[in-house]
Amino acid sequence: MTTCWHIFNIGLQNTLSYRVNFFARALFNLIPLLAIVAMWRAIYAGKSGDVSGYILAQMISYYLLVTIVESMTSVTEDDWQIAAEIKDGHIGQFLTRPIDYLHYRLCLFFSGRVVYTLAATIPVGLFVYWHREYLVRPHDGVAIAAFILSLALSAVLQFLLSYLIAMLAFWVLEISTFVFILLACERIASGQMFPLDILPSWLAQAVMWTPFPYCIFFPVSIYLGKISGAALVQGLILQVLWVATLYALARLVWRRGLKTYTVVGG
Amino acid sequence: MSEPVAIPANVESATAPQAPPGWRRYADVYAALWRNSVTREMGFQVNFFLWLFVELLWFALQLGFNSVIYLHTDSIGSWTKWEVVMLIGASHFVQQLFQALLLVNCAQLSELVHTGRMDFMLLLPVNTRFLVSLRHVDLGGFISAASGLAVVFYAAHRLNVTPSLAQMLSFSLLCGAAILIHYSLMFLMATISFWTVRAQGMVMAYYNLFSIARIPDAAFRGAGRVIFTLAIPMLLVASVPVKVLIDKLSSPAEIILLLTMSAVTFLGSTLVWRRALQRYSSASS
């Protein structure tokens, strides 16, 4: 635990140098979101009734929450850094030290999240404040507790997905294509572009079998009170199962990777 | 470590006296750059196909998103489903052609400065902006662009529109102007961020910004519409060419606006580039 705390602190200091980058990134991330919100406004202006149970105000609050969840949980530089550390041979030092690489990166990831969330506070805060009439309160006390829990799990889940993609650096020279493939899957299937329950129900159900909805859609739906009771418990169990599965997979791939790995030079 | 040497301001236009500049020479240089790029791409064939797959995946994702939206509505403003499909196709076409010819080079500008290789570029007897903008060609971009064009034609078929030759020529011309806007804005961002933002972040910013071109302009009102038409003309780059193809222009002024904005953004990027060169001091010496 104390080791993790030290790594967390070092991570904080290192990532602080990225703060301008993070700020710019958070700012530019808002642009497509503004466009999508504008598009939904135009759609609702031209029709009567709701969209799969979402009235305009709920639709906008959905996107507000996506923005908040995303700025607190999404992976920023970690995948590139891990791949670079594998390629440059920096992971060699972890083989001789009593620090586990996965845990080391996880601690760094959390310090990165803290810095990113702070850097994103101003742009995201302004965006939310501008739409504050749509920001609903969480459904109830249970929803708040479950939301915080699933938020933490979704951060770990997103980290593990990126970690697994970065592990490909053991076998391939360039991982960027794979990073963008993962990013595309996350965009469409995590609920970042639209609430997944506006999909035709067979498709929505199929998507719920992948880990992606548990990255964004699930915590947001808990907050909005769309998921509660037995479905909430079941969802949380599935989220934990995904985290456990990907964690085991990450361990396995790391061990397989090391077998093929050679560090050249000191 | 000696003091950084300031490069004279007129270095951009400084060419060696024994090699008179002309279209012919630039065409030769450009052909050589193409040959280089083709050779380089041949060395990474798997990577080439993977990138192609990534581009097609993102394109399919946008079309999929549009299909989901139109499950729940008949129109966005005045735009029907297949009109927006055409808009997404045209936006992809423009963006991919830009990516094929120019994007990588803009993204690498800050790296050239950081590594000091910019000095070398400045010393070569060709226009520096020409060289840094067109050094690499991304061949996959052309194939991707073709997929965008195919979607435009298919959407035209679904809309029962048969564009005339004049319409197709105007479409091509306007797409050219749109590419110029993409290039000028990206080059401007690259020049401004010489010393601050890393290339990765800049390309992300670019994709975020240009995602607006795929949204029907009718969705934007008020300040948003003014900003994304007159300051960052994202609402013109794909929608004006499409409107020409399907006879949707509200007035010819939209065409003039797109052409004017492409000239304005290009001039803007030229001014900033000149300023940046004046202030440039080498990173390596």
Q: How many residues in chain A?
A: 266
Provide the terminal-to-terminal Cα distance of chain A, rounded to the nearest Å.
30
In terms of average pLDDT, the best of A56-60, A203-207, A244-248, B73-77 is: A244-248
Domain count, chain B: 1
Q: Where does the pLDDT of residue B199 fall: very low under 50, low under 70, confident under 90, or very high at 90 and above? A: low
- A181 Cβ under 8 Å from any chain B Cβ: yes
In a domain, B147, yes or no: yes
Residue at B112 is within a domain: yes
Q: pLDDT digit string (tens) for B8-48? A: 444 444 444 455 557 888 888 888 888 888 888 887 788 88
A177 touches chain B (CB under 8 A): yes
Measured between beta carbons, which residues in chain B are less than 8 angstroms from residue A47? 73-74
Interchain contact B104–A (C-beta under 8 A): no
Q: Distances from the Cα of A116 to the Cαs of A24, A73, A122, in angstroms?
A: 11, 9, 11
pLDDT at B284: 56
What are the residue ranges spanned by the domains of chain A?
Answer: 2-259
User: Distance from first CA to last CA of chain B, Å, rounded?
Assistant: 7
Structure confidence at residue B170 as a pLDDT band (50, 70, 90):
very high
In a domain, B8, yes or no: no
User: What integer is the mean pLDDT of B228-239?
Assistant: 86
Single out the residue of A92, A79, A221, A95 nearest to residue A164, CA to CA. Answer: A79
For residue B111, the distance in angstroms to the closest alpha carbon of chain A comes to 16
The whole-chain average pLDDT of chain B stands at 83
| Residue A1: pLDDT over 70 | no
CB contact under 8 A, B215 and A28: no
What residue has token string 């670079």? A84
pLDDT at B6: 47
pLDDT for the residue numbered A152: 94
Q: Which residue has the higher pLDDT, A48 or A73?
A: A73
Residue A99 to residue A92: CA distance in whole angstroms: 12
What was the pLDDT predicted at B19? 55
| Chain A hits for B212, Cβ within 8 Å | 31-32, 35
Q: What is the mean pLDDT of residues B233-249?
A: 88
Sole residue written with tokens 């990534």 = B54
Give the 3-state secondary structure of residue A17.
coil
Q: How far apart are CA B236 and CA B91, in angstroms?
A: 10
Q: What is the pTM of this model?
A: 0.86
- Cβ within 8 Å, pair B215-A177: no
Q: Bigger pLDDT: A266 or B87?
A: B87
The answer as to whether B7 is a domain residue is no
Distance from CA of B57 to the nearest CA of A (A): 7
Cα gap B36→B140, rounded to integer Å = 15
Q: Which domain holds residue B80?
A: 21-279
What span, in angstroms and rounded, lies between the C-alpha atoms of A54 and A198? 9
